[in-house]
Amino acid sequence: MTTAGEIMHRGAQWIPAHETLDRAAQLMRELGVGALPISDENERLCGILTDRDIVVGCVALGHDPARVTAGQMAKGTPRWIDADADVSEVLEEMTGHQIRRLPVIRDKRLVGMISEADLARHLPDDQIAHWAESVYAESATR
């Protein structure tokens, strides 16, 4: 059984909900990532912020990313997976909610992230094809 912890990339970092989007963009650049989990004051997951969220949900609307916080961008129920979950559960969570990035949690702490690239590196082509079809086919119709 392959687990979420085995396919995730380590070193994921939170962006605290009170931090501004310009700081989030800087952190994304420093880490070479396109998404950051958002944490509340208790370091619990309260959302995920993507580079696209910053551009489309802030800059394109004429808002100042130095005045908008990550917490203000957090919408909906954040999805995550336990580090010991089987990869089939990872795929089910990602396809069921049409998400491309998934935080990995162990003992209520962020230990990594699973992205499309992680799936591509660790899963057989048929599983990747099914995942991509499920995630992208539906999102293209919105």
What is the tens place of the pLDDT at every residue in 18-29?
999 999 999 999
Domains and CATH numbers, the chain: 4-140 (3.10.580.10)
Q: How far apart are the C-alpha atoms of 104 and 9, rounded to whole Å? A: 9
Backbone phi and psi for residue 49, each to the nearest 5 degrees, phi listed first? -110, 130
Is 70 exceeded by the pLDDT of residue 122?
A: yes
pTM metric for this prediction: 0.84
Q: What mean pLDDT is reported for the chain? A: 90
Comparison of pLDDT for 128 and 5, the residue scoring more: 5
Please name the residue that has the structure tokens 């799936």: 119
**130, two tokens:** 């099914």
